Amino acid sequence: MAKMFNPPHPGAILREDVLPALQLSVTEAASQLGVSRVMLSRVLNERAGVTAEMALRIEAWLGVERGGRADLWLGLQVDYDLWQARKHAPKKVKPAPTPDGLRAVA
């Protein structure tokens, strides 16, 4: 398996790229997104993840044509979460027996 890089938290992308490009404060962005400043700050400071609801808010806020696709933001969160989980993955997992006729999930 190829070694993965440490993917960025989607909050870091919002904090470092999106808000500066839009010249918005956290308070202004939170208002436009329809969330509290505290909620948005938690995402921006990587203390909370992008939920499906937040991803839909980002999609409505930025628009699909400007990189706001909800599935893109959720994918970024999943990539980040999976990378973090792999760093702390359990070492001893007993593989399940392979019954006859079991197909691999693709």
Q: Are 45 and 37 in contact (CB under 8 A)?
A: no
* pTM for this prediction: 0.84
Predicted pLDDT of residue 19: 98
Question: What residue type is 78 in one-letter code?
Answer: V
Going from the C-alpha of 72 to that of each of 14, 47, 64, 85, 91, the distances in angstroms are 13, 20, 10, 20, 31
Task: Give me the pLDDT at residue 1, please.
Answer: 46
Structure confidence at residue 106 as a pLDDT band (50, 70, 90): low
In order of start, what are the domains of the chain with their CATH numbers? Answer: 10-87 (1.10.260.40)
Task: Give the residue from 46, 44, 50 showing the smallest Cα distance to 72.
Answer: 50
Residue 27, C-beta contacts closer than 8 angstroms, at least 6 positions apart: 37
Residue 42 contacts residue 26 (beta carbons within 8 Å): no
